[in-house]
Amino acid sequence: MKIIMLGAPGAGKGTQAKMIAEKYGIPHISTGDIFRANIKEGTPLGKEAKGYMDKGQLVPDELTVKILLDRVAKDDCKNGYVLDGFPRTIPQAEVLDKALTELNDKVDFAIDVDVPDENIVKRMGGRRACVTCGATYHIEHVPPKKEGICDKCGSELILRDDDKPETVQKRLSVYHEQTQPLIEYYTKKNILKTVDGTVDMMDVFKAITDILG
Ligand code: ADP
Ligand code: ADP
Ligand code: ZN
């Protein structure tokens, strides 16, 4: 099963994608996580991506598409995957479709986690991310057992630089301009499913598993 998660920054794509990956036994692939891992390791890709990410802009399609295609070609993707944060532009979606068509394959579902902008701004200020394993928390909705410490690996939790309010506003406008057109793109392909992302995360997950079966 090949699944795409759509939605604004902070809509809960990552939270849901992790649960989907676990339930269906497929890898969770987040381009944002891949970029952050490269930044941490100081690779050339990380250095280039950081400049865009810090400004709340998208990393150019050329770079992003290459890392995604390399990732989905790996062995563990044979039975499918859940993509979180890719595609984010129409050209990215077209490249993915072309690559899959060449393999006689296709995306099965594009799930739009729908959350209005007002809720997003509130939510992002409370997001905390683990510097080591990438686990995500929320100071009110998903607090770690011990404040500031990752439950899974014991590392420090931080507020991502790009989750500060000025950058969140910029990312939201980039989302509306460049990513939202994908909703129409996948509607036309008859694979778009919308879920209400404002409810409790387990209720969002229930709505998603009802769709996926
Ligand atoms: P969020 O989950 O909050 O939406 P991500 O971790 O998915 O954030 O992405 C963080 C940043 O990484 C984006 O703001 C963008 O700069 C970059 N990025 C991630 N995925 C893509 C992509 N598919 N195309 C371009 N840039 C991307
Ligand atoms: P995205 O990957 O779309 O950027 P995340 O999954 O990282 O979004 O979620 C953004 C923040 O909101 C995180 O702090 C997360 O713990 C929290 N969150 C996720 N889903 C919900 C929900 N249904 N209700 C409240 N908070 C949520
Ligand atoms: Zn951790």
Per residue in 102-146, pLDDT tens? 999 999 999 999 999 999 988 999 999 999 998 999 999 999 999
Give yes or no for residue 7 having a pLDDT over 90. Answer: yes
* 36: amino acid identity, one letter: R
Asked if 20 contacts 28 with a C-beta cutoff of 8 angstroms, the reply is: yes
The tens digit of pLDDT for each residue in 71-84 reads: 999 999 999 999 99
* Angle between helix 44-54 and 61-72 (nearest 10): 130
d(CA 198, CA 116): 8
CA of 152 to the centre of ligand 3 (A): 5
**Average pLDDT, integer, range 49-77:** 97
Report pLDDT for 101: 97
Q: Which of these, 202, 204, 205, 181, lies nearest to 88 by C-alpha position?
A: 181
pTM score of the predicted model: 0.96
128 classed as catalytic: no
Q: Residue 43: give its domain's CATH number.
A: 3.40.50.300
122 classed as catalytic: no
Domain that holds residue 102: 2-115+172-212
The tens digit of pLDDT for each residue in 35-55 reads: 999 999 999 999 999 999 999
CA of 38 to the centre of ligand 2 (A): 23
Strand-by-strand arrangement of the 157-158 sheet: 136-138, 127-130, 157-158
Is position 131 within any domain? no
Is position 66 within any domain? yes
| Nearest atom of ligand 2 to the alpha carbon of 15 | 6
Report pLDDT for 122: 86
Report pLDDT for 46: 97
Report pLDDT for 198: 97
Total tally of structural domains belonging to the chain:
1
Q: Which residues contact 19 (CB under 8 A, 6 or more apart)?
A: 205
Is position 135 within any domain? no
Give yes or no for residue 96 having a pLDDT over 90. Answer: yes
Is position 206 within any domain? yes
Q: What is the CA radius of gyration of the chain?
A: 16
Query: Out of 2, 88, 123, 128, which one is annotated catalytic?
Result: 88
Residue nearest to atom 4 of ligand 1 (CA): 9
Residues with CB under 6 A from ligand 2: 7, 9-15, 123, 126-127, 136-138, 141-142, 200-201, 204
Is position 130 within any domain? no
d(CA 22, CA 151): 18
Is position 120 within any domain? no
Residue nearest to atom 23 of ligand 1 (CA): 86
d(CA 147, CA 210): 34
Share of the chain above pLDDT 70, in %: 100
| Nearest atom of ligand 2 to the alpha carbon of 129 | 14
Give yes or no for residue 32 having a pLDDT over 90. Answer: yes
